[in-house]
Structure formats: C-alpha cells, structure tokens
Amino acid sequence: MDRFEAMSVLLAVVEAGSLSAGARRLHSPLATVSRKVADLEKHLGVRLVLRTRSGLTLTEEGRSFVAASRRILEELHAAEQQASRAHRAVRGGLHVTAPIAFGERHLLPIAIEFLKEQPDINLRLTLVDRQLSLGDEQVDVALRIGHLADSALIATRVGAVRRVLCASPDYLARRGVPCQPSDLAEHDGISFQGFAAAPEWRYRRDNAAFAVEPRAKLAVNTTEAAIQAALAGIGIIRVLSYQVSDQLRSGALQEVLPDFAPEPLPVSIIHRPTDPLPQKVRCFLDWIGARLRAQMAV
C-alpha cells in the first residue's frame, strides 16, 4: 500500500465530507476510494471514520491521524518544491575535470567567464593528467582526450588534437632530422607516463598503422618534464599539439615526420546520464561546448 497516497485519499474524503464527494474530488471511482480508506484502516488496525447518514465522522484516532497526515503531506510537498527549484536553478557546486595543460589553456578562461555570468555557481576545477571516475569522484563534467570506451556516459565531441613528434633544433642539428619513422631507431627518445591518452610511438603509411620507437634516453612521469627535457636537447618527444603549441610557434621545438602522423584524437565533454539533467550542468555544458568548438576550430 502506498501510504502517502492513502493519506491523500483520506484527507480528500474528510475535507469533502463523504466518500462519494471525495471520489468526485479525486476523479476516482467510489469503490476505489472506499477500498483505499478501508485498506488504510486495516493497515493501522483502527477505525478512522464512522459512516453516518449525514456523512462521515472521525474517530478520536482518525482526528489524530488526519492532523498528522496533513502535516506530513505539507512537509513532503514543501520538500518537493524546494528540490524542484534547486534542480531548475543555476546555483550550487559544480565539479569539472580536464587534463592539466588543456584545462589551463582552453577550459579555465571559459570557466572564469561562466562564473562571472553565474555568480551563484561554485566551481571546483580538477586539472589532472589521469581520468577520474565521474561516479566515485562526484564529477559533474569531464573533458576527455582520446577515443572513449563504450559506457553509459554521455559524450559530446567538441574538437580534435594532433599528435606531434618534435625535438629541439640543437638536437636535430647534432643527430640529424629523421626522414622516415624507421630512422627513429637511431635516435634518443623521451618517454613519459601518467596521461591516460599519452601519444604512443605510432605512425601511418598507406593507411596502415605501425610503430617505431627511439631509444629510451630518459623516462619521466609528467608531460611538462618531457617537454623541458626536449627543450634541453635530450631527445625526441611525442606529445599532443596543444601541449607544445607555444614552443613550436617560437621555434624552440621543431616538428618532425608530420606526414606520418596518426589520425587526430577526439576531444569530448562527458557527463553522467542523469534524467533530468540538473540545470547547472546543462547550463555549463551549453556554455563551454560552443566556446570550445570555436577555440579548437582556429
């Protein structure tokens, strides 16, 4: 038995003055209303109403139960209204995660403007080069780089990034510029781990993928350390284009073997399949989606 429904039926009957009037108010068959009141009395083990020629009379237990039911249903309605308003409002905490360099370069400026437009939002931006579990870490929105595994998460693609092989001009002057991926076997490489979508030493030729690795001269656990080592002339690195865009633009690093680069990696915004989606999440997705697409199209 749905006790909330039973309380509502009892209140309607009492306020209308009779079972038949209560049934009309509820737009329900009289037999159904009568049965629900009887089931409630059976569940409680007491008589709540006495049927008389003039209508209904509440027993002492009935008066006490009706008063309590009215209070409970009013509190339930208030709680539902409050939850509904909170769901529709653009306010509250929002947890977003993204890779470090991408988040600093692309996402943070957009998020700052979003906070200026939505002063009732408190944003927690976790920038980390590993994939956080949206459920375990209570993440509302995540930006992911790379092909996504099949899951129940909702993904929206906003762009793509290239995988870039590069080295310092000093290193290339000393060791020569590789012309074919096979030339890398004679070169020093800088490897790193820690980024879930870390670019592998993989190339494309005639639509066939193959891998060649340089000798591991140095292994580090962060992208920034690998870039600094490459700038120092230690060897060749493979990174994502946005991670070294400034160095490539200034000439501090030089791209090699661009014709053999694999397909770009997709950039996606993901969130859990909540229905309905909280307004604060929907508003943030709409805000960053269009702006990230515009940034990455340049």
pLDDT tens for residues 121-151?
Answer: 999 999 988 888 888 888 999 999 988 876 7
Tokens at residue 96, please?
């977003």
User: Which of 66, 88, 110 is at the close of a domain?
Assistant: 88
Number of separate domains in the chain: 3
Domain hosting residue 234, numbered range? 163-260
User: Rounded distance, CA 226 to CA 237, Å?
Assistant: 7
- Asked if 181 and 209 count as a contact pair (C-beta separation under 8 A), the reply is no
Q: Are residues 27 and 72 in the same domain?
A: yes
Q: Are residues 123 and 83 in the same domain?
A: no
- Asked if 240 and 265 count as a contact pair (C-beta separation under 8 A), the reply is yes
For the domain that residue 44 is a member of, what is the CATH number?
A: 1.10.10.10
pLDDT tens for residues 76-116?
Answer: 877 777 666 555 557 889 999 999 889 998 999 999 999 99
Alpha-carbon dihedral sign for residues 74, 10, 7, 24: negative
User: Rounded distance, CA 14 to CA 25, Å?
Assistant: 11
Return the residue matching tokens 């020629």.
53
Could you give the C-alpha distances from 246 to 41, 220, 251, 253, in angstroms and in order?
76, 21, 9, 9
At residue 207, what are phi and psi to the nearest 5 degrees?
65, 15
For the domain that residue 242 is a member of, what is the CATH number?
A: 3.40.190.10
- Mean pLDDT for all residues in the chain: 85
Residues, the chain, total? Answer: 298
pLDDT tens for residues 218-277?
Answer: 999 888 899 999 999 999 998 888 889 899 999 999 999 998 888 888 999 999 888 788
What pTM, to 2 d.p., does this model score? 0.62
Q: Are residues 156 and 288 in the same domain?
A: yes
Q: Residue 249 CB: number of other CB atoms within 10 A?
A: 9
